[in-house]
């Protein structure tokens, strides 16, 4: 069975590019373009991993991560923070709210895919 990965980002082209890359590697890619839809999809679809932007409309990535990681039903889903915010304080806060990894944009798709494999224990 294919692993399902939810990509939550408000940059449409980036979401499409990541989705195509994931699908070409054999994953099922789910997408959401704002924080509220991302949170709702995470709860409804229970993906195997979430790639989560920080700066999102409606609910930011920090809040989504915290809400999922502090909920018994969803806390085991690995979350990769995926953001242009490269400050050490941003990364520290990402890990404090429960992120399993932090990748800064622009990014190498090989780095993202290696992190996904590591977190999914493939």
Confirm if 25 and 18 have CB atoms less than 8 A apart. no
pLDDT band at 32 (very low <50, low <70, confident <90, very high): very high
Report the mean per-residue pLDDT for the chain. Answer: 96
Confidence of residue 1 (pLDDT cuts 50, 70, 90): confident
Give the span between the Cα atoms of 114 and 119, in whole angstroms. Answer: 9
**What are the extents of the domains in the chain?**
4-119
Q: Are 24 and 2 in contact (CB under 8 A)?
A: no
Q: Tens digit of pLDDT for each residue in 42-58?
A: 999 999 999 999 999 99
In angstroms, the CA 34 to CA 26 distance is 25
For 81, the 3-state DSSP assignment is strand
CB atoms within 10 A of CB 7: 27
Question: Domain 4-119, what architecture?
Answer: 3-Layer(aba) Sandwich (3.40)
């Amino acid at each position: 069975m294919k692993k399902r990965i939810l990509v939550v980002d408000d940059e449409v082209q980036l979401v499409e590019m990541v989705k195509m890359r994931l699908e070409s590697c054999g994953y099922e890619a789910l997408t959401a373009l704002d924080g509220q839809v991302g949170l709702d999809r995470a709860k409804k679809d229970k993906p195997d991993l979430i790639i989560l932007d920080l700066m999102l409309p409606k609910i930011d990535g920090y809040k989504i991560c915290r809400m999922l990681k502090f909920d018994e039903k969803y806390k085991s889903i690995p979350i990769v923070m995926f953001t242009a915010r490269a400050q050490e304080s941003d990364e520290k806060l990402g890990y404090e709210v429960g992120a399993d990894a932090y990748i800064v944009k622009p990014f190498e798709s090989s780095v993202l895919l290696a992190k996904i494999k590591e977190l999914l224990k493939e």
